[in-house]
Chain A
Amino acid sequence: MLNRKVLSALGGVLAALPAFAYDSSYNMPAGVTDVAREVHGLHMTVFWVCVAIAVAVFGVMVYSIVSFRKSKGAVADQTMLHSTKVEIIWTVIPVLILISLAVPAAKTLVRMEDTRNAEISIKVTGYQWKWGYEYLGLGVNFFSTLAPSSNEARQLKSGIDPNSVKDYLLEVDRPVVVPVDTKVRLLLTGNDVIHSWWMPDFAVKKDAIPGFINEAWFKADKIGHYTGQCTELCGRDHGFMPIVVDVVSKEDYAKWLAAQQEATKAATAGASATATTAANTNAPAAASL
């Protein structure tokens, strides 16, 4: 009776496993760029390789624990001390598995590093604690900070239920807007300390380091609203500088760009010390090392 209950519960858990492994709240998102999907594929491949090895190795361990017990009268085989043959076997097989993993990984890596032929270049600057974006040659630049609703709720003992806030900690006042199906190059640097720009759906994570310009790229093929966060501890409010990228149609992007350029022109004509120009003057020079 009890056994049957346990078995059916176990069956339920096992049946749920595949869903478990692919559901995006438990697993890496497949993403919306070719590179991200390749990375997701690599991740799942190495995961299943690990599962297969685990089943084999843990299987032998569990079998030994169950079968070779003194209480069951097992007598130890004192002659089994070493075997050069099996040592070679269990060295060579892992080598082959590793080679089979390293080849596709190397290919993806080469692809990820190829930042040539980008259509748009955006300079990304990490600040304590916000992001600065500058669309190079397009005259658009702005800061992107945590949305006020999240900022209010995240204060110590604010009394605001985070569940009542839309996209708590993952919403910004001004998102990055990029066109779909367009290769976008990011040039990343830090203004004060090291930050790291992570967008899981693009499989892009690159450190924004003072004195360095790092490169990364993505080409999103699905219109949508994508969120990420800073992933290098950068001080007190490290947890509160999210990243939001809106991937829009090329037409919507053209409209957005025109509106931004218009607004920037008006702002710089009006006052010279606006936040956007401050972003420019604060941004460090592309120091070489």
Chain B
Amino acid sequence: MAHADTHDHHDHDHKPAGIGRWLFATNHKDIGTMYMLFALVMFFLGGAMALGIRLELFKPGMQWFDPGFYNSLVTNHALIMIFGAVMPAWVGLANWMIPLQVGAPDMALPRMNNYSFWILPFAFTLLISSFFTAGGAPAGGWTLYPPLSLQAGDSFPLTIFAIHMMGISSIMGAINVIVTIMNMRAPGMTLLKLPLFCWTWLITAYLLIAVMPVLAGAVTMLLTDHYFGTSFFNPAGGGDPVMFQHIFWFFGHPEVYILILPAFGIVSEIIPTFARKPLFGYDAMVYATASIAFLSFIVWAHHMFTVGMPLAGQMFFMMSTMLIAIPTGVKVFNWTATMWKGSMTFEPPMLFAIAFLFLFTIGGFSGLMLAIAPADFQYQDTYFVVAHFHYVLVPGAVFAIMAGVYYWLPKWTGHMYNMTLAKWHFWMSTISVNVLFFPQHFLGLAGMPRRIPDYSTQFTDWNMVSSIGGFVFGFSQLLFVVLIWQCARGGAKATDKVWDGLMTGLEWTIPSPAPYHSFTEAPDLTGTPDSHH
């Protein structure tokens, strides 16, 4: 720190002491760190549940869990990974990086930033405590379809309130991102000079504000159906269980892009850095992101082709879903064109970004297959779908988060990390994630439904392979923890620029570690060229 102090900061770099620094945190870096650590803890908790699932599925027959408890594992694995691991990791990265990338001293609304983080530990305590209620944790799937979800016992209000709290937290985080990017950019930083991570997060934040209230409405109606005698979704009272699915997926599909758009931003930053060549088609990337966000609002019912929609509805949702392949293709082609005629090196962030590029694209292919409604009747609710969304979420979103951590960790800690360990982590993760999820395509096509605790014996081999991949993947993540721990404790001093590459972002102009208060005087970008020139 002494180095940073003498650099360009005089006396305002002192940090509050003790636990109060974290409880009453308003500093975007502290809050970002708490978000990231919280996400890491949830990643391991959700991962432990996934290993429970893979343990039970290792061979046919029920060896470990009651089927009801198995369903609770499936349900909570999803809720924890989506709302506890991936979304908080993105908000954590946004907290750390957006002020640094736009040249702002902090997030626009620091007190709200504190609330939005500190809601989360309470929300997840509520959710997880439901495991100890009569009737056990929620077991109706993270999609909470009624009437099944209404059969839950005492866990039900805990789950609903936990989801409400997660939603409030997300909305506050999103407001903060929008206000920061819209109002706190350095002078001269026009929108088309905005780094792509900021761009994708800005669009993500709008999606969050648009759809989290929809989810809140849906689960509130479940709550009143359960406790106050309403019949929104209860057919016995004239309600409509399919209406819940429409409302849920009107939230749920944009939610999918909430999980992946910031990943597009990170990859769009890392590939140019290590290809030493500016991002190809910056404008096209921005427009493609906006197009994907728009399309995400008109494709929701492709999650429900089997509910018996009118033919015209099925046609519409099939065609609109297929359209998503176009902007997504544009993105993949632009990343590829960025590597073309580059001068590439393969540091850990680049390795994860390239793995993202290949494996997310595989998830995109299976997504295109799923869009074909007649074929979807065969894929729907099978392991083919499980393989699809895990490809876009694990080597997709999670790898991009890891790429981001490997990219900016030296900027956060001031130390370089152990490159050999990072490469071990990369290769172990990349190989095992494919062993884990690729065979699930076969299982689904061959007829194995999802969310079942036991299976017919012809599915044994691929389930064993998948489980082995799962355990290797799970335990490989311990390397990540060791690496982060070591990097926080010490290591070779990182330079301001950290990497030998093409970096144009403002975060590389300040010292490593980033001083506690950065950009107290805004940098002036007036007159610098747009990112696409």
Task: Mark A residues whose CB is within 8 Å of B.
Answer: 24-29, 38-39, 42-43, 46-47, 50, 53-54, 57-58, 60-61, 64-65, 68-71, 74-78, 80-83, 86-87, 90-91, 94-95, 98, 101-102, 105-106, 108-110, 112-113, 153-158, 160-163, 167-170, 192-194, 196, 198, 200, 203-207, 209-212, 214-215, 228-240, 284, 287, 289
- Residue B122 at the A interface, CB < 8 A? no
Instruction: Identify the closest chain A residue to B64 (Cβ).
Output: A156
- Cβ of B329 under 8 Å from chain A: yes
B125 within 8 A of A: no
B151 touches A43 (CB 8 A): no
Within the complex, the shortest CB–CB distance from B351 to chain A, in Å, comes to 11
Let me know if A194 and B381 touch, CB within 8 A.
no
A169: which of B145, B278, B454 is its contact (CB, 8 Å)?
B454
Q: A68 contacts B342, CB within 8 Å? A: yes
Asked if B92 is at the interface (CB within 8 A of a chain A CB), the reply is no
Which chain A residue lies CB-closest to B279? A81
* Chain B residues, Cβ within 8 Å of A47: 369
Cβ of B380 < 8 Å from any Cβ of A? yes
CA–CA, A234 and B322, complex, Å: 30
Report the bound CA distance from A106 to B315 in whole Å. 7
A39 pairs with B377, CB closer than 8 A: yes
Contact A102 B71 (CB under 8 A): no
B→A interface (CB under 8 Å) = 60-63, 65-68, 71, 139-141, 145, 147-148, 151, 235-236, 238-242, 275-278, 280-284, 306-308, 311, 314-315, 318-319, 322-323, 325-326, 329-330, 332-333, 336-337, 339-345, 354, 357-358, 361-362, 365, 368-369, 372-375, 377-378, 380-382, 442, 445-447, 449-458, 502, 532-533
Contact A60 B241 (CB under 8 A): no
Closest residue of chain B to A108, judged by CB? B374
Asked whether, in the complex, the Cβ of A236 is within 8 Å of the Cβ of B377, the reply is no
Tell me whether A87 and B148 are in contact (CB under 8 A). Answer: no
Contacts of B455 in A (CB 8 A): 169, 239
Known: A80-B277, A203-B378, A209-B242. A69 touches B343 (CB 8 A): yes
Closest 4 CB pairs of A and B: A211-B235, A239-B452, A214-B308, A50-B365
User: In the complex, are the beta carbons of B326 and A98 less than 8 A apart?
Assistant: yes
Task: From B145, B341, B451, give the contact of A80 (CB < 8 A).
Answer: B341
Residue among B139, B340, B377, B442 facing the most chain A CB atoms (10 A cut-off): B377
Residue pair A43, B358 in contact (C-beta under 8 Å): no
> CB < 8 Å: which of B71, B361, B446 contacts A27?
B446
Which A residues lie within 8 Å of B445 (CB)?
A: 26-28
Q: Which of A29, A58, A192, A238 lies in contact with B147, CB distance below 8 A?
A: A192
Choose one: A81, A205, A228; the contact of B306 (CB below 8 Å).
A205
With contact pairs A203-B377, A209-B241 given, residues A237 and B342 touching in the complex (Cβ less than 8 Å): no
Contact A154 B62 (CB under 8 A): yes
Q: Which residues of B contact A284 (CB under 8 A)?
A: 235
A193-B311 contact in complex given A46-B375, A161-B61, C-beta closer than 8 Å: no
Known: A46-B372, A211-B240, A234-B148. A206 touches B308 (CB 8 A): yes
Bound together, the chains give a CA A203 to CA B61 distance in angstroms of 27
Is B311 touching A157 in the complex (CB atoms < 8 A)? no
A82 near B61 (CB under 8 angstroms)? no
From A60, A95, A198, A231, name the one whose CB has the most chain B CB atoms within 10 angstroms. A231
Q: In the complex, what's the smallest C-beta–C-beta distance from B446 to chain A, in angstroms? A: 5
Please tell me if the beta carbons of A39 and B378 are within 8 angstroms of each other in the complex: yes
Enumerate 6 A-B pairs (CB-CB under 8 Å) in ascending A order: A43-B372, A43-B375, A82-B280, A153-B61, A230-B449, A287-B238
Return chain B residues, CB-CB under 8 Å to A105: 318, 372-375
Task: Using CB atoms, name the residue of chain A closest to B335.
Answer: A61
| Separation of A109 and B311 alpha carbons in the complex (Å) | 8
Residues of A close to B457: CB separation below 8 A:
162-163, 168
A43 touches B369 (CB 8 A): yes
Contact B361 A24 (CB under 8 A): no
**Contacts beyond the supplied A39-B374, A69-B343, A80-B337: 8 A-B pairs with Cβ under 8 Å:** A38-B374, A54-B365, A71-B345, A74-B342, A109-B318, A157-B63, A205-B306, A210-B241
Q: How far is the CA of A206 from the CA of B372 in the complex (A)?
A: 16
Pair A156/B62 contact, Cβ less than 8 Å? yes
Q: A86 — nearest CB in chain B belongs to which residue?
A: B337
> Do residues B275 and A162 form an inter-chain contact, with CB atoms below 8 A?
no
- Whether A64 contacts B458 by the Cβ 8 Å rule is no
With beta carbons under 8 angstroms apart, the residue of B141, B365, B377 that contacts A204 is B377
B456 touches A170 (CB 8 A): yes
In contact, B240 and A289 (Cβ under 8 angstroms)? yes
Contact partner, A154, options B336, B340, B454, Cβ 8 Å? B454
- With A43-B369, A231-B382 in contact, is A194–B241 under 8 Å at CB? yes
Contact status of A25 and B147, CB under 8 A, knowing A61-B336, A81-B533: no
What is the CA–CA distance of A237 and B139 in the complex, to the nearest angstrom? 12
In the complex, the answer to whether A81 meets B344 with C-beta atoms within 8 Å is no
- Closest CB in chain A relative to B266 CB, distance in Å: 18
Compute how far the CA of A81 lies from the CA of B284 in the bound complex, rounded to whole angstroms.
Answer: 11
Complex Cα–Cα for A120 and B113 (A):
63
Partner of B447, one of A80, A207, A228: A228
A229 touches B452 (CB 8 A): yes
Q: Is the CB of A212 within 8 A of B242?
A: yes
**Contact of B71 with A236 in the complex, beta carbons under 8 Å:** yes
CB contact under 8 A between A158 and B68, given known A28-B445, A43-B369, A112-B377 = no
CB–CB B377/A68 < 8 A = no
B500 to chain A: closest CB distance in Å? Answer: 9
Min distance, Cβ B444 to any Cβ of chain A, angstroms: 9
- Distance A230 CA – B148 CA, assembled complex (angstroms): 14
Are A162 and B61 CB-contacts (below 8 A) given A25-B442, A76-B343, A204-B377? yes
